[in-house]
């Protein structure tokens, strides 16, 4: 027995932390870790000591002690004095291998990498489980907003039926600016990158890949079913125009890029999972309509809890670092006290419903010939495909008219076939825009 123990003084314990990546998120993680080192020690019961930071370019001026920087992430992960690895690099390789190596050598992992998790959570979680280690990823969905842990833990006793959210800050920032001030798409995207919201390749944001990865993560947790990015139907915002936003406003709606994850009962009475991402018309009275800028919000509908809404900053270095550090504290506490946190519990294994079978509603804006019988012919095309029309609005031009049609719900396939059929008719000069509606209840 040491003299400290016999004298009642508890020896100071330390946990070694390796941070991979020092960009928008990593630099805030490192800054907050060092600024609040004593607070972290009090919360964890051990000092969190930064052993090293992996980057690509060690020569760039970063405002951190240079001796902490390394471009050899694999060697940093392998160090014996590292207990927890924080991955904020992004992409698939080399980080997938680095995380597997970390878990295989007894290190818990915290990651913000939704692109990786959307396809590899199964593989990574299996290694973490086998080694009794934590794999935490709260920051991977909706930045600072706690939504992974509430779904995984707080709602574990309820039956979640629907999760719908604005989960990409960059596209919400762009759509909000276009709607409010008619701001230019390209300039607003550049501003989102400058503010640290956009991915290293912003195509992931504007084409909906980032939101689809988050939808896969949310659907997997909510429905206890493995859903990967390729199971998620995806459409981005690149075709949305200022005119679409103005036209949506005329209908008392706005347009938001939504991630929608639903438990759907099919015609045979069996349950399936639908996961999809697309720009949707959202009525102004809907809680998601008021979520603007880089803010995110996730609405969860559960059988016993009813409707819950989680709202906050969905992107940016500092908000995301908050979620990363929350996970780091949890993983560190488990290192101190033993054991590991709960994981996804993927036991239901519900089949995936394709977008074609999924009931949706369409908003269509088209330019048609302004002559007798055209409205009836348009209505007939909808009827031919078993699609019921909810509202029609026509505004006349000189020899043409703009027709806005909103449908009732129908299988998405029937709706898209109706659009294709309309496009082939000579009285339809152009289908100007096709946007789905949030809500499948009508
Ligand atoms: N930004 C945000 O709002 C959010 C981001 N995320 C996720 O967090 C992660 C990081 O995002 P973000 O900080 O914006 O990304 P950045 O592009 O700003 O930073 C990436 C960092 O990783 C380093 N890096 C790249 N490749 C390697 C490598 N092979 N080995 C070691 N280091 C490497 C880069 O080094 P160097 O500096 O030398 O180039 C850089 O420091 C991503 O998975 C992202 O999807 C999640 C939620 C929100
Ligand atoms: N690029 C992402 C960052 C957070 O996940 C976004 O814009 O939401």
Tell me the ligand closest to 98's alpha carbon.
1
Q: Does 199 sit in the ligand 2 pocket, CB within 6 Å? A: yes
Average pLDDT score over residue span 425-437: 96
| C-alpha closest to that of 360 among 418, 310, 301, 427 | 418
Residue 2 has pLDDT above 60, yes or no: no
User: What is the percent of the chain with per-residue pLDDT over 70, rounded to a whole number?
Assistant: 96
Residue 4 has pLDDT above 70, yes or no: no
Binding residues: 20-27, 114, 199
What residues contact residue 214 under an 8 Å CB cut-off, 6+ apart?
114, 118, 140, 141, 142, 165, 167, 168, 259
User: Distance, CA 21 to ligand 1 centroid (Å)?
Assistant: 5
Q: Does 314 sit in the ligand 1 pocket, CB within 6 Å? A: no
Classify burial at 60, counting beta carbons within 10 Å of its beta carbon; exposed 0-12, middle 13-18, buried 19 or more.
exposed
Q: Does 210 sit in the ligand 1 pocket, CB within 6 Å? A: no
Q: Ligand 1 atom 28: the closest Cα is on which residue?
A: 56
Tell me the ligand closest to 118's alpha carbon.
1
Pairwise CA distance, residues 198 & 194, whole Å: 8
pTM to 2 decimal places? 0.95
The 10s digit of each residue's pLDDT in 267-299 is: 899 999 999 999 999 999 999 999 999 999 999
Confidence category of residue 1, pLDDT binned at 50, 70, 90: very low
Q: Are 56 and 64 in contact (CB under 8 A)?
A: no
Q: Are 410 and 382 in contact (CB under 8 A)?
A: no
Q: Ligand 2 atom 4: the closest Cα is on which residue?
A: 315
CATH of 3-142+319-337, one of 3.40.640.10, 2.60.120.920, 1.10.3720.10, 3.40.50.720: 3.40.50.720
User: Distance, CA 26 to ligand 1 centroid (Å)?
Assistant: 7
Is 0.95 exceeded by the ipTM? yes
Determine the topology of domain 148-315 in CATH.
Dihydrodipicolinate Reductase; domain 2 (3.30.360)
Q: Which CATH architecture has domain 359-437?
A: 2-Layer Sandwich (3.30)
| C-alpha closest to that of 319 among 25, 17, 89 | 25
CA Rg value for the chain: 25
The 10s digit of each residue's pLDDT in 289-331 is: 999 999 999 999 999 999 999 999 999 999 999 999 999 999 9
Task: Determine the atom of ligand 1 nearest the C-alpha atom of 58.
Answer: 38
Catalytic residue list contains 214: yes
Q: Does 178 sit in the ligand 1 pocket, CB within 6 Å? A: no
Provide the β-strand partners of residue 298: 165, 310
Domain boundaries, the chain: 3-142+319-337, 148-315, 359-437
Pairwise CA distance, residues 314 & 320, whole Å: 7
């Amino acid at each position: 027995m040491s003299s400290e123990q016999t004298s009642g003084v508890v020896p100071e314990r330390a946990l070694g932390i390796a941070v991979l990546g020092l960009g928008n998120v990593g630099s805030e993680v490192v800054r907050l870790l060092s600024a609040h080192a004593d607070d972290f020690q009090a919360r964890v019961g051990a000092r969190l000591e930064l052993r090293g930071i992996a980057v690509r370019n060690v020569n760039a001026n970063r405002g951190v002690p240079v001796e902490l920087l390394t471009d050899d992430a694999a060697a940093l992960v392998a160090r014996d004095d590292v207990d927890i690895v924080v991955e904020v690099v992004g992409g698939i390789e080399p980080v997938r291998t680095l995380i597997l190596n970390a878990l295989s050598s007894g290190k818990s992992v915290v990651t913000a990498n939704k692109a990786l998790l959307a396809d590899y959570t199964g593989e990574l979680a299996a290694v973490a489980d086998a080694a009794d280690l934590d794999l935490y990823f709260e920051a991977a969905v909706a930045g600072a907003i706690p939504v992974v842990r509430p779904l995984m833990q707080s709602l574990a006793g309820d039956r979640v039926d629907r999760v719908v959210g604005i989960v990409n800050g960059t596209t919400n920032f762009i759509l909000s600016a276009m709607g409010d001030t008619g701001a230019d798409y390209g300039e607003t995207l550049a501003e989102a990158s400058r503010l640290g919201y956009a991915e290293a390749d912003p195509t992931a944001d504007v084409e909906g890949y980032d939101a689809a990865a988050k939808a896969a993560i949310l659907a997997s947790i909510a429905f206890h079913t493995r859903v990967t990015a390729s199971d998620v139907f995806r459409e981005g915002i690149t075709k949305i125009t200022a005119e679409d936003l103005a036209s949506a406003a005329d209908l008392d709606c706005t347009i938001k890029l939504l991630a929608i994850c639903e438990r759907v009962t099919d015609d045979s009475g069996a349950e399936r999972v639908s996961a999809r991402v697309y720009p949707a018309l959202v009525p102004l009275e809907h809680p998601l309509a008021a979520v603007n800028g880089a803010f995110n919000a996730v609405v969860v509908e559960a059988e016993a809890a009813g409707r819950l809404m989680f709202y906050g900053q969905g992107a940016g270095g500092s908000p995301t670092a908050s979620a990363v550090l929350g996970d780091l504290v949890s993983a560190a506490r488990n290192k101190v006290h033993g054991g590991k946190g709960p994981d996804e519990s993927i036991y239901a294994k519900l089949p995936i419903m394709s977008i074609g079978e999924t009931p949706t509603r369409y908003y269509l804006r088209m330019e048609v010939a302004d002559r007798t019988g055209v409205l009836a012919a348009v209505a007939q095309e909808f009827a031919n495909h078993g699609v019921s029309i909810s509202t029609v609005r026509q505004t006349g031009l000189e020899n043409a008219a703009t027709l806005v049609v909103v449908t009732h719900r129908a299988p998405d396939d029937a709706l898209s076939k109706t659009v294709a059929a309309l496009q082939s008719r000579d009285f339809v000069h152009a289908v100007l825009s096709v946007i789905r509606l949030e809500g499948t209840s009508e």
